[in-house]
Amino acid sequence: MIIVAHVLLILLGATEILQADLLPDEKISLLPPVNFTIKVTGLAQVLLQWKPNPDQEQRNVNLEYQVKINTPKEDDYETRITESKCVTILHKGFSASVRTILQSDHSLLASSWVSAELHAPPGSPGTSIVNLTCTTNTTEDNYSRLRSYQVSLHCTWLVGTDAPEDTQYFLYYRYGSWTEECQEYSKDTLGRNIACWFPRTFILSKGRDWLAVLVNGSSKHSAIKPFDQLFALHAIDQINPPLNVTAEIEGTRLSIQWEKPVSAFPIHCFDYEVKIHNTRNGYLQIEKLMTNAFISIIDDLSKHDVQVRAAVSSMCREAGLWSEWSQPIYVGNDEHKPLREWFLIVIMATICFILLILSLICKICHLWIKLFPPIPAPKSNIKDLFVTTNYEKAGSSETEIEVICYIEKIGVETLEDSVF
Find the mean pLDDT for residues 211-238. 96
Clarify whether residues 194 and 218 are in a common domain: yes
- Could you read off the pLDDT of 58-117 as tens digits, one per residue? 777 788 999 999 999 999 999 999 999 999 999 999 999 999 998 877 788 899 999 999
Q: Which of 71, 94, 116 is the last residue of a domain?
A: 116
Confidence of residue 366 (pLDDT cuts 50, 70, 90): low
Clarify whether residues 107 and 156 are in a common domain: no
Is 15 domain-assigned? no
- Could you read off the pLDDT of 10-23 as tens digits, one per residue? 544 444 444 444 44
Clarify whether residues 170 and 201 are in a common domain: yes
Clarify whether residues 98 and 163 are in a common domain: no
**Residue 194 β-bridge partners:** none
Residue 63 identity (one-letter amino acid)? L
Clarify whether residues 54 and 132 are in a common domain: no
**pLDDT score recorded for residue 387:** 44
Phi, psi of 158 (to 5 degrees): -110, 150
- Could you read off the pLDDT of 171-209 as tens digits, one per residue? 999 999 999 999 999 999 999 999 999 999 999 989 999
Phi, psi of 261 (to 5 degrees): -70, 170
Q: What is the DSSP secondary-structure string of 257-287?
A: EEE--SSSS-GGGEEEEEEEEETTT--EEEE
Is 412 domain-assigned? no
Q: Which of 304, 329, 354 is the last residue of a domain?
A: 329
Residue 270, judged by CB atoms within 10 A of its CB (0-12, 13-18, 19+), counts as buried
- Could you read off the pLDDT of 24-40 as tens digits, one per residue? 445 678 899 999 999 99
Clarify whether residues 229 and 134 are in a common domain: yes
Clarify whether residues 219 and 253 are in a common domain: no
Clarify whether residues 164 and 206 are in a common domain: yes
Is 224 domain-assigned? yes
Average pLDDT, the chain: 82
Clarify whether residues 168 and 216 are in a common domain: yes
Clarify whether residues 139 and 212 are in a common domain: yes
**pLDDT score recorded for residue 419:** 39
Is 373 domain-assigned? no
Q: Which of 329, 363, 378 is the last residue of a domain?
A: 329
Is 376 domain-assigned? no
Is 17 domain-assigned? no
Clarify whether residues 135 and 229 are in a common domain: yes
Check if the beta carbon of residue 210 is closer than 8 Å to that of residue 230: yes
The C-alpha atoms of residue 199 and residue 113 are separated, in whole angstroms, by 47
pLDDT over 50 at 4, yes or no: no
- Determine how many CB atoms are found less than 10 A away from the CB of residue 377: 9
Clarify whether residues 215 and 251 are in a common domain: no
**pLDDT score recorded for residue 404:** 37
Is 191 domain-assigned? yes
CATH of the domain at 88: 2.60.40.10
Find the mean pLDDT for residues 141-149. 75
- Could you read off the pLDDT of 71-83 as tens digits, one per residue? 999 999 999 999 9
Per the structure, the count of domains in the chain is: 3
Find the mean pLDDT for residues 313-335. 89
**Domain containing residue 205:** 128-233
Q: Going by C-beta distance under 8 Å and a sequence separation of 6 or more, which residues neighbour residue 72?
A: 88, 89, 92, 93, 94
Is 309 domain-assigned? yes
